[in-house]
Structures are given as structure tokens and as C-alpha cells.
């Protein structure tokens, strides 16, 4: 069996427990546990400042954030999206009564290919829902153009894109709305949580209403909304997490660089090229098993698993291959050749700030053994 601790693909970051205790004391005293309390409002403001965006609405998780954004955008019919994502992306469309239309991805960024998206536009299209996958920013300029050209709403699933910037600032400023996830496995977590970033004050106000049943005041309810309010505990955790996030991202950067060094001379696997003109958050460390490698992706996955290294095949199967989506005309594999190729070859290695050099050597050693047929 394996030496050392089992290695999972992600390991949630937490603030020191003693830093949380004063906030807990105050919560216990005040009995204000939710509904835009003190920690909620402080965290919302701190996040806007940290991310460099104006309009942040905290929510319970990214899935409800996506749903709120889709509802607020007033969409109908079809929405063009990527099959290479977590299933929550398309589920949000379905839950909002919309039809996902899948378009192929770019082989370098692994994000929705703007040209494929353009080919998928019909008279029934009302929006685009791209994803900044693994914190690799989409071709926002091309997607902005496409949305403008056809008068489409543009909502980004930015679940992976915490603290990702391009030359002009946060990637979250693009489109009508962007939705972050603060789930335990993401780069920045509040146990569960998320945020909708709006590009104007009116949209933020509407999202804020929608997340609280459409309630305006004691006697006024503006519209049908849901409950997606972040509670005070999660907000207090979020404030404390912000203190350490730059440090954690820097540590992820060191892990990333070490993997690249360790894997550089191993036959059969390739690291993804870093995206130029973007800051990275090192959300994940995906590798691609080369088409001609002596081992398949699944063989490598199993070898790692046996040695206590729980790599993950993100994102396999594609969303478009799942039972509730595969009947759609756009889900045909011929329509999505790049997405199918990547989904068959990708493997995400353990990536978290305190992954040690020894542990990374252990991972690379298993891959190196597979390359020479030793295990």
C-alpha cells in the first residue's frame, strides 16, 4: 500500500480556529444568524474590494447564484454553453426552464470556443453561459462581441475564477453577470457559498431581492424569488479566509511550478500551457495523457488510486453525455470533437497549498513508473 497520507485532488483551506472564536462569540450573543447581518455586509464589501468589482451579491452556493442570474436576465428558449464543465452549469439552465445548447471548446483554454458558439446561435438563443474552466479565462473579447452582435445576455459561470485577472482587471467584470463558488473544494471557500457579480447597481439590487424571496420590506414583495441568502457563519468564515487567500494562491503557484518540473521529462503526459496575459489562481493541476502514450488515462487513474493518490477525471463524462442531456441535437459527439478528445485524456492531480514536495514526487514517481511500464 501507499506511503504517507492519502492525497485527494483538493484539500479545503481553513483559517486558524482561534481566529474564528471571537466571531462565533458575537454570533451567539447577537442571535443574528442570517438575513444580511453584520458579517454578511462586511464580507460583501471586503470581497468587492479584494476582487476589484463594484457589485457583489453573496449567495448560498454557485448553483443558486446561477439560477438567480438566469432568472434576473429574463431568458427564454436556448442558452449556448460548454459541455466541459461541472454538471451544475447545465443543471442551472434546466432548473430555470431553459434548453442548454452545447458548443465545442478550445483545445488550449478548454473553454467555450467563440466560433463554435457563433455557429450554434439560432433565433431561439437568448444567452451565452461560458465557464472560466480551471480558472483559465475565456476569450472574453470574442464572447462579448458575439453577445453584442446577436443581442444575447452573457453570464459567466466563474465558479473557478476567484482572483483571476486579465490586463484590464478582474475577469469577473465581463458580461452581464458572473457567478463565483465558495464550495469547500474551490480555491476560496466559505464551507458552502458563492457570489453573483453584476455589472451595474440595478442588476445587483434585483439579484439581492431575488435571493430573499423578492421581499422588499415588511409589506412589499416585488416578485417571485427564492432563498439563497448567505448566513452569518459562512460570511464570518469568508472574512477570515480573505486574510490568507493571497498566501494560499502563491503556495499553489509553487506547487504548479514543481509539478511542471517533475513531469517535464516523463513520456506520455503533458501539462496544460499557462494562459498568457492572465494571473492564475492555480485552481487545479490538469494533465493530458498523450494519444500515443503506453498507458491510457484510465489506467493511470487506477494506478494512482491504488497508491492512495485520488486524482480526478474532470470533466469526464462530459455534461452532454449525461442521460438528461445526451438526446439533445447539440450533444452529438460529432458536434463536440475537441471536448470529447480532452474529456478522454484529462486527469487532475492533487492541488492544494500545503501539498509537499515529497508528496508531489510520490505522484510524479507513479506516473514515471507507468511511463516505463513498471507498475
Q: Is 86 in the site for ligand PLP (CB under 6 A)?
A: yes
Q: What gap in Å lies between CA 204 and CA 65, rounded to an integer?
A: 12
Question: 295 vs 316, which CB is nearer to ligand PLP?
Answer: 316
Q: Is 88 in the site for ligand PLP (CB under 6 A)?
A: yes
Q: Which of 90, 119, 123 has the alpha carbon at shortest distance from 103?
A: 119
Q: What gap in Å lies between CA 288 and CA 340, rounded to an integer?
A: 13
**Which of 7, 44, 61, 248 forms a contact with ligand PLP (CB under 6 A)?**
61
Q: Is 312 in the site for ligand PLP (CB under 6 A)?
A: no
- By rule CB under 6 A, what count of residues binds ligand PLP? 14
Q: What is the largest CA-CA distance in the chain?
A: 71
Q: Which of 308, 303, 316 has the alpha carbon at shortest distance from 348?
A: 316
Q: Which parts of 128-147 interact with ligand PLP (CB under 6 A)?
A: 131
Question: 160 vs 362, which CB is nearer to ligand PLP?
Answer: 160
Q: Which residues contact residue 11 at a Cβ distance below 8 angstroms, ignoring those fewer than 6 apart? A: 350, 352, 354, 355
Q: Is 284 in the site for ligand PLP (CB under 6 A)?
A: no
Q: Is 58 in the site for ligand PLP (CB under 6 A)?
A: no
The C-alpha cell that represents 20 in the structure block: 474564528
Question: 178 vs 360, which CB is nearer to ligand PLP?
Answer: 178
Q: Is 85 in the site for ligand PLP (CB under 6 A)?
A: yes
SS (H, E, C) 297-338: HHHHHHHHHHCCEECECCCCCCHHHCCCCCCCHHHCHHHCHH
Q: Which parts of 25-44 interact with ligand PLP (CB under 6 A)?
A: none
Question: 69 vs 368, which CB is nearer to ligand PLP?
Answer: 69
Q: What gap in Å lies between CA 105 and CA 122, rounded to an integer?
A: 19
Q: Is 157 in the site for ligand PLP (CB under 6 A)?
A: yes
**Which of 194, 238, 286, 353 forms a contact with ligand PLP (CB under 6 A)?**
194
**Which of 57, 89, 190, 281 forms a contact with ligand PLP (CB under 6 A)?**
89
Q: What gap in Å lies between CA 300 and CA 74, rounded to an integer?
A: 45
Question: 27 vs 195, which CB is nearer to ligand PLP?
Answer: 195
Q: What residues make contact with ligand PLP under the rule CB under 6 A?
A: 61-63, 85-86, 88-89, 131, 157, 159-160, 181, 183, 194
Amino acid at each position: 500500500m501507499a506511503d504517507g497520507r492519502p492525497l485527494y485532488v483538493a484539500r479545503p483551506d481553513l483559517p486558524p480556529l482561534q481566529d474564528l472564536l471571537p466571531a462565533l462569540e458575537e454570533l451567539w450573543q447577537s442571535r443574528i444568524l442570517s438575513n444580511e447581518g453584520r458579517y454578511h455586509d462586511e464580507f460583501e464589501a471586503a470581497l468587492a474590494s479584494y476582487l476589484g468589482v463594484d457589485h457583489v451579491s453573496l449567495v448560498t452556493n454557485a448553483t443558486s447564484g446561477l439560477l438567480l442570474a438566469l432568472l434576473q436576465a429574463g431568458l427564454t428558449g436556448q442558452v449556448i454553453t460548454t459541455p466541459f464543465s461541472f454538471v451544475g452549469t447545465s443543471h442551472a439552465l434546466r432548473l430555470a426552464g431553459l434548453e442548454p445548447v452545447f458548443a465545442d471548446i478550445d483545445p488550449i483554454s478548454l473553454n467555450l470556443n467563440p466560433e463554435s458558439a457563433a455557429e450554434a446561435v439560432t433565433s431561439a438563443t437568448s444567452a451565452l453561459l461560458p465557464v472560466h474552466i480551471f480558472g483559465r479565462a475565456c476569450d472574453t473579447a470574442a464572447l462579448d462581441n458575439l453577445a453584442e452582435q446577436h443581442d444575447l445576455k452573457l453570464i459567466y459561470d466563474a465558479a473557478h475564477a476567484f482572483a483571476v485577472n486579465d490586463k484590464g482587471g478582474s475577469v469577473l467584470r465581463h458580461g452581464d453577470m458572473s457567478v463565483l463558488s465558495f464550495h469547500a473544494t474551490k480555491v476560496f471557500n466559505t464551507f458552502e457559498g458563492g457570489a453573483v457579480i453584476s455589472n451595474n447597481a440595478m442588476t445587483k439590487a434585483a439579484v439581492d431581492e431575488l435571493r430573499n424571496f423578492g421581499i422588499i420590506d415588511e409589506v412589499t414583495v416585488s416578485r417571485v424569488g427564492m432563498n439563497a441568502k448567505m448566513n452569518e457563519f459562512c460570511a464570518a468564515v469568508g472574512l477570515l479566509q480573505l486574510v490568507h487567500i493571497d498566501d494560499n494562491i502563491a503556495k499553489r503557484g509553487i506547487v504548479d511550478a514543481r509539478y511542471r518540473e517533475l513531469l517535464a521529462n516523463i513520456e506520455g503526459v503533458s501539462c496544460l500551457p499557462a494562459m498568457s496575459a492572465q494571473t492564475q489562481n492555480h485552481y487545479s493541476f490538469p494533465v493530458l495523457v498523450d494519444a500515443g502514450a503506453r498507458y491510457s488515462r484510465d489506467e493511470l487513474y487506477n494506478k494512482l488510486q491504488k497508491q492512495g493518490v485520488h486524482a480526478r477525471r474532470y470533466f469526464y463524462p462530459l455534461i452532454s453525455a449525461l442521460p438528461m442531456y445526451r438526446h439533445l441535437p447539440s450533444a452529438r459527439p460529432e458536434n463536440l470533437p475537441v471536448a470529447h478528445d480532452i474529456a478522454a485524456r484529462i486527469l487532475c492531480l492533487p492541488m492544494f497549498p500545503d501539498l509537499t514536495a515529497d508528496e508531489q514526487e510520490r505522484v510524479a514517481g507513479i506516473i514515471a513508473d507507468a511511463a516505463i511500464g513498471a507498475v
